[in-house]
Copies of this chain bind each other. A is one copy, B any other.
Amino acid sequence: MSNTNPDDKQLAEMFKALGNPHRLLIFQRLSNCCLPGTRCDLEQTMRFSVGQLGKGMEIAPSTLSHHLKELHRSGLIEMSRQGKRVDCWIDPAVLNRLAGFFYNPIENRLRGDRDVG
């Protein structure tokens, strides 16, 4: 795309990654920082090993690995080996960036939150 800057290109990559139901499910598991009714620990990011993330998803390990690689390549998740396992988590800044992309000043001003600059 000639008229697509690098920033938008990465954004499209992220959305493409989330466009697959398996990958969306993985992302949701990682972004649920706390259970309903509980508090989140400020110092703690939700981490799951590759194996844990695959629990309940009926896909082959190789397929799971492929999806995690896509999520990582797009910039949605972080990964690092911890002994035998590989842990995955989401950098909170990613959530903020994506939420900000959809932020709607019209609707939110209706709620009386703040003004538009």
From B31, B34, B106, A92 is in contact (CB under 8 Å) with B106
B116–A34 contact, CB under 8 A? Answer: yes
Interface residues of A in 97-117 (CB under 8 A from B): 98-107, 109-110, 116-117
Determine how many copies of this chain the complex contains. 2
Tell me the minimal C-beta distance from A25 to chain B in angstroms. Answer: 7
Interface flag for A47 (CB, 8 Å): no
Set of chain B residues within 8 Å of A3, measured between Cβ atoms: 25, 56-57
Which residues of B lie under 8 Å from residue A21 when comparing CB positions? 1, 4, 8-9, 12
Interface residue from B25, B93, B95 paired with A8 (Cβ < 8 Å): B25
Distance in angstroms between the alpha carbons of A41 and B74 in the assembled complex: 35
Q: A8-B24, A15-B15, A16-B16 are in contact. Are A102 and B106 (CB under 8 A)?
A: no
Report the bound CA distance from A40 to B109 in whole Å. 10
**Residue from the list B9, B13, B102 in contact with A95, Cβ < 8 A:** B102
Q: Which residues of A contact B (CB under 8 A)?
A: 1-4, 8-9, 11-13, 15-22, 24-25, 28, 31, 33-34, 37, 39-40, 42, 56-58, 92-93, 95-96, 98-107, 109-110, 116-117
